[in-house]
Amino acid sequence: MYLITVLGNLLIILAVSSDSHLHTPMYFFLSNLSLVDICFTSTTIPKMLVNIQTQSKVITYAGCITQVYFFILFAGLDVFLLTVMAYDRFVAICHPLHYTVIMNTQFCGLLVLMSWLLVVSLFYCTSAGVYFSSAPTHRSLSSATASVMYTVVTPMLNPFIYSLRSKDIKGALKRFFGMAAIKRSIILGLKKCP
């Protein structure tokens, strides 16, 4: 599931960055969401996989605090980017004639930038107080299952839900891999020439 999450989201980033037809606000936000989903799952899943493999649940205090910080950071970014994406669709549907004026490159960049560090100020400060003051609690199996659902399954499904079903993304990936295959065959052909 982790590999599917990383590969699916990397494909979205690759498709959006390689195809100039996808350099629109909607796909700009989708590629940012894909990057955040990769980072979000990478904060917990590798350690979890090591724990499963070694049958050990040990984590240092500094490692735990670091993991919690980045988990909250990327979870918050997910929420803010989904909000920005909803605003983008609202403008596209309700104000189609003004869409390109409202959702210009600078404004899109500002929205993504505002989503960042906001996350740092809102979540880092408040959650640090909560985590430093609370005593450790034991989680039940249902809590662990719920945690896996939103830390692993949701980011894995996001590429399929948001973009890989899109004709534009599929076309961009076909063009990218088609060009890569052509370049590879040309290079191989040139290497065979004496």
Domain region containing 84: 2-192
CATH code of residue 95: 1.20.1070.10
Q: What is the pLDDT of residues 41-74, one digit of tens each?
A: 999 889 888 888 998 888 889 988 999 889 888 9
Residues in the chain: 194
pTM score above 0.75: no
pLDDT at 194 over 70: no
Distance CA 69, CA 49 (A): 19
Is the distance from CB of 159 to CB of 34 less than 8 angstroms? yes
Residue where the block lists tokens 């980017």: 81
Other C-beta atoms within 10 Å of 84: how many? Answer: 19
Q: What is the pLDDT of residues 127-161, one digit of tens each?
A: 555 556 554 554 566 556 656 666 666 677 777 66
Number of domains in the chain: 1
Q: What is the pLDDT of residues 67-92, one digit of tens each?
A: 988 988 898 888 889 899 899 999 99
Percent of the chain exceeding pLDDT 90 equals 14
